Structure 1
């Protein structure tokens, strides 16, 4: 055993083993290197060329058909029809029929040493008579005419109990087409009331003629 220990511990034997081990590694490395060089040489020797690509499919020429623009001759626009005749502008009859006015001056009456003032009696006096509204139905037909209205003038000068007594067209035929308009206009009349001995009183049965005429 001592001999074996001596053999193992001999530096010469130990160096030989290391040399053998190193030579083995060198041989392995050299073999791998030779293989790599051989592979590279094979790759270099190979004649690589660009792969042949298929030619593109040729595109046929596009022929556009000739465009022909046809312009049709347009007819001139038709002449517009004449507008319908406009309704004739009406002119309200603003003539106010006069009312007979009687003014009576009574002589002063003695009263002791004093004398009474004159006492006045008179018929109603028109103050305001608005023009009537021309009925649209009569305006469309071009009708003219007049209406006689009757009413009562109150002690304050207002008008009440208005009614159409008779209505006629322009040729004298009876018609009621103007009645409502005439009654509405007469209801707005204003008067100075009738005076009897200086006292305002009502006046019944007052008649007035309202005329409807179209502008010429």
Structure 2
């Protein structure tokens, strides 16, 4: 009995071995070419998820900003003095003539005009090239809003060197806190300003 089992098992093992040998021979013969003398690099099995075309596009990088231009050379030191008229600022005590204290009384405060912005005028190029100092006196009317109007050139020295021209341009930008009398802003005509132009030496 055991002999029969042994014979059947050996026959089956022989058949399986023969089938494996024939299968391997068939695989080798289908390749056809012999392997190269130099072994090829081993390819890694990389799994990549399925992506759309939009996802695979690279976002463009912004252009590199251009280098800023160097600043222009600074002009020579220029000193411009603006003389504030003596009458521009009142140092006296505020007037209490219109002050009423009590139930229902009106409160009003008088104040004189005060400059809040005095622009620095440009130096005339011709005078700057010649190294000249100078001054210009202008007259303005201060409005109820603190701006100026009726700007006039009264005097300039030396003449014909554009000191008056540049002083008039600067005077247009003057700003004041207007004069207030009994709580009402008033215009002030005939206010003088002297713009002095000096080159620092």
TM-score range, shorter chain: 0.5 to 0.7
What's the Cα RMSD here? 2.5
Distance 1:176-1:138 versus aligned 2 partners, 3 A rule: closer
What are structure 2's unaligned runs of at least 5 residues? 1-73
What are structure 1's unaligned runs of at least 5 residues? 1-85
Larger relative contact order (C-alpha < 8 A, sep ≥ 6)?
2
Partners of 2:161 and 2:148 in 1: CA distance: 21
Aligned length in residues: 125
- Partner of residue 81, structure 2: 93
Within 5 A, what are the aligned runs for 1:49-60? Answer: none
- Partner of residue 124, structure 2: 135
**TM value normalised by structure 1:** 0.52
Offset at residue 97 of structure 1 (A): 4.5
Q: Which string of whole-angstrom CA distances, capped at 9 and with x for unpartnered residues, describes residues 160-187 of structure 1?
A: 1111100123xxxx55620110000011
- Partner of residue 146, structure 1: 135
Partners of 2:118 and 2:151 in 1: CA distance: 14
Partners of 2:189 and 2:161 in 1: CA distance: 23
Offset at residue 135 of structure 1 (A): 0.4
- Partner of residue 99, structure 2: 108
Q: Which string of whole-angstrom CA distances, capped at 9 and with x for unpartnered residues, describes residues 14-48 of structure 1?
A: xxxxxxxxxxxxxxxxxxxxxxxxxxxxxxxxxxx
Partners of 2:161 and 2:96 in 1: CA distance: 43
Give the structure with higher Rg (CA). Answer: 1
Three-state SS of the structure 2 residue aligned to 1:104 is coil
Partners of 1:87 and 1:109 in 2: CA distance: 57
Structure 1 runs of 4+ aligned residues shifted over 4 Å read 94-98
